[in-house]
């Protein structure tokens, strides 16, 4: 069910994570310091969470583990695996979470074969916080003595400047017991929704770190991307011991941001790498549409047209507008029009005269003749009848603004009405002919036989 298809467009050999755009105090305006540490052996850990996380991603996460939800033709987390593959001296990539092993074992094996790098999944016996799992599996993570660890939260979309990030880390802190946090500028009104850092503009040392402050502190926010020196496990051990001595209910629960980074700030061991590269979180369905747009655009921009596998208009094929990815097994009628920002999954069938834009159409979906799908995600096995219209609200963030991000909204407005958002049609649902579905969240296995607007269909 969650098998990774290996016929997606290949990103191998591409520099998909270019050097950062220049921002004030950012990477390109920085004078490179000489290397203090020769980092030759590295590992990467991607924190994927568990089934109780990602509630704002429902109903999509009812059918897919959120990290394996397809964006731009591949599971969300695979984009990070590609980034990790660029890490100098990479020995292994570890997926760390609470999902059952069966949901990740096959994916990890396929990704390992594809990348030529060992990929394994480690399951926490219970949720242990953002650092508890790292500490619990510290011996496995530190096998073969990596000199640095790249740690990434899975629920982000970003152009991570891997090589520059490691070089920066290697040039900081003579003792080599430090942590580098990748940061990006955010608008003042958005910054307090993230971890905020205050750093010295010359030394890049972080003097103050607060996770989701109640008031404005800084517009430099934590991207959820880190380079750890192995000494980080000593800091985690100190938290673990303190939790035991304080008789905490779950002493193995360790939060990286609150328990570790906040304490490291101001000690000369925490550094901020500031980038203007694209970054956003993937918390909701709307942000998945946003991420799909970005990954398709990046692939098209960095791949020669003669080599890329994005769809093109042909005399005997559908009309393609903008960036569109279509699985090779999908059946698209020549009179259909797709794009921009569209991904079509395995075995999907798009009928005559159908129009799809700014949407993700997953496996085995059938879109009937002359139907419209816009600003929507249609999950596996759904059927949309003829002359129907499935539409959500457009994603409002500006893809050309590196300081923007998709902000999670409340589900309902102050008046109790459903907040305009991406329309989601849950797996194996059916929409009858000539039906309007506007701003709707539909759970799996439902039949929609009449017009629906601004509703949650339970």
Determine whether 431 is exposed, middle or buried from the number of CB atoms within 10 Å of its CB (0-12, 13-18, 19+): buried
Tokens 């074992």 — which residue?
105
Q: What distance in Å separates the CA atoms of residue 116 and residue 81, rounded to the nearest whole number?
A: 11
Residue 188's φ and ψ, nearest 5 degrees, are -60, -40
Going by pLDDT thresholds of 50, 70 and 90, the confidence category of residue 305 is low
* First-to-final CA distance of the chain: 24
- Rounded to an integer, the average pLDDT of 298-320 is 79
Residue 57's φ and ψ, nearest 5 degrees, are -90, -5
Q: What is the pLDDT of residue 9?
A: 41
Q: What distance in Å separates the CA atoms of residue 1 and residue 8, rounded to the nearest whole number?
A: 17
Task: Answer yes or no: are the C-beta atoms of 327 and 345 closer than 8 Å.
Answer: yes
Q: What distance in Å separates the CA atoms of residue 421 and residue 391, rounded to the nearest whole number?
A: 9
pLDDT at 3 over 80: no
Residue 226's φ and ψ, nearest 5 degrees, are -135, 155
Determine whether 181 is exposed, middle or buried from the number of CB atoms within 10 Å of its CB (0-12, 13-18, 19+): buried
pLDDT at 276 over 50: yes
Q: Is 191 helix (H, G, I), strand (E, B) or coil?
A: helix
Beta strands 74-75; 70-71: pairing state? antiparallel
Q: What is the pLDDT of residue 439?
A: 92
Q: What is the pLDDT of residue 182?
A: 94
Give the model confidence (pLDDT) of 93-136 as tens digits.
999 999 999 999 999 999 999 999 999 999 999 889 999 999 99
Mean pLDDT of the chain, nearest integer: 85
Predicted structure pTM score: 0.86
Tokens representing residue 47 in the block = 């924190």
**Which range has the worst mean pLDDT, 75-79, 144-148, 164-168, 406-410?**
406-410
- Rounded to an integer, the average pLDDT of 342-347 is 94
Tokens 């457009």 — which residue?
394
**Which range has the worst mean pLDDT, 7-11, 322-326, 410-414, 421-425?**
7-11
Give the model confidence (pLDDT) of 144-197 as tens digits.
999 999 999 999 998 898 889 999 998 887 778 899 999 998 888 888 888 999
Give the HSE-up count for residue 225: Cα atoms under 13 Å, Cβ half-sphere.
26
**Which range has the worst mean pLDDT, 4-13, 171-180, 269-278?**
4-13
Beta strands 349-350; 220-228: pairing state? unpaired
Q: Is 338 helix (H, G, I), strand (E, B) or coil?
A: strand
Q: What distance in Å separates the CA atoms of residue 114 and residue 10, rounded to the nearest whole number?
A: 10
Q: What distance in Å separates the CA atoms of residue 285 and residue 59, rounded to the nearest whole number?
A: 9
Task: Answer yes or no: are the C-beta atoms of 231 and 176 closer than 8 Å.
Answer: yes
- Rounded to an integer, the average pLDDT of 313-341 is 91
Q: What distance in Å separates the CA atoms of residue 195 and residue 221, rounded to the nearest whole number?
A: 5
Q: CB count, 10 Å around CB of 414? A: 7
């Amino acid at each position: 069910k969650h098998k990774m298809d290996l016929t997606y467009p290949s990103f191998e050999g591409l520099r998909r994570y270019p050097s950062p755009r220049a921002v004030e105090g950012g990477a390109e305006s920085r004078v490179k310091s000489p290397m203090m540490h020769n980092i030759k052996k590295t590992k990467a850990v991607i924190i994927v969470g568990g089934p109780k996380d990602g509630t704002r991603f429902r109903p999509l996460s009812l059918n897919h583990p959120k990290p394996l939800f397809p964006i731009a033709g591949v599971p969300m987390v695979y984009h990070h695996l590609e980034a990790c593959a660029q890490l100098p001296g990479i020995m292994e990539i570890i997926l760390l979470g609470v999902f059952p092993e069966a949901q990740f074992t096959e994916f990890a094996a396929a990704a390992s074969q594809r990348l030529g790098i060992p990929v394994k999944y480690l399951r926490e016996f219970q949720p242990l916080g953002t650092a508890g799992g790292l500490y619990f599996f510290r011996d496995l993570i530190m096998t073969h003595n990596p000199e640095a660890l790249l740690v990434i939260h899975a629920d982000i979309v970003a152009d991570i400047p891997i090589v520059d990030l490691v070089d920066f880390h290697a040039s900081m802190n003579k003792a080599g017991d430090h942590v580098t946090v990748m940061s990006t500028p955010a608008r003042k009104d958005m910054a307090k929704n993230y971890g905020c850092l205050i750093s010295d503009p010359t030394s890049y040392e972080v003097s103050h770190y607060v996770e989701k402050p109640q008031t404005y502190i800084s517009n430099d926010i934590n991207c959820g991307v880190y380079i750890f020196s192995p000494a980080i496990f000593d800091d985690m051990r100190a938290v673990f011991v303190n939790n035991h001595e304080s008789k905490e209910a779950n002493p193995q629960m360790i939060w990286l941001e609150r328990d570790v980074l906040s304490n490291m700030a101001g000690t000369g061991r925490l550094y901020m790498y500031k980038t203007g590269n694209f970054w956003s979180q993937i918390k909701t369905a709307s942000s998945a549409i946003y991420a799909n747009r970005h990954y398709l655009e990046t692939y098209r921009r960095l791949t020669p047209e003669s080599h890329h596998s994005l769809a093109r208009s042909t005399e005997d094929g559908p009309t393609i507008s903008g960036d569109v990815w279509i699985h090779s097994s999908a059946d698209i009628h020549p009179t259909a029009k797709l794009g921009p920002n569209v991904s079509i999954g395995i075995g999907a069938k798009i009928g005559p005269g159908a129009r799809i834009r700014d949407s993700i159409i997953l496996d085995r979906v059938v879109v009937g003749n002359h139907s419209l799908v816009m600003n929507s995600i249609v999950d596996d096995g759904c059927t949309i009848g003829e002359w129907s219209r499935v539409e959500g609200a457009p994603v409002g963030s500006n893809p050309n603004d590196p300081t923007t991000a998709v902000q999670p909204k409340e589900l309902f407005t102050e008046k109790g009405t459903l907040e305009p958002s991406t329309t989601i049609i849950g797996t194996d649902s059916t929409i009858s002919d000539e039906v309007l579905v506007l701003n709707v969240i539909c759970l799996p296995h439902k039949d929609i036989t009449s017009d629906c607007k601004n509703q949650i269909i339970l």
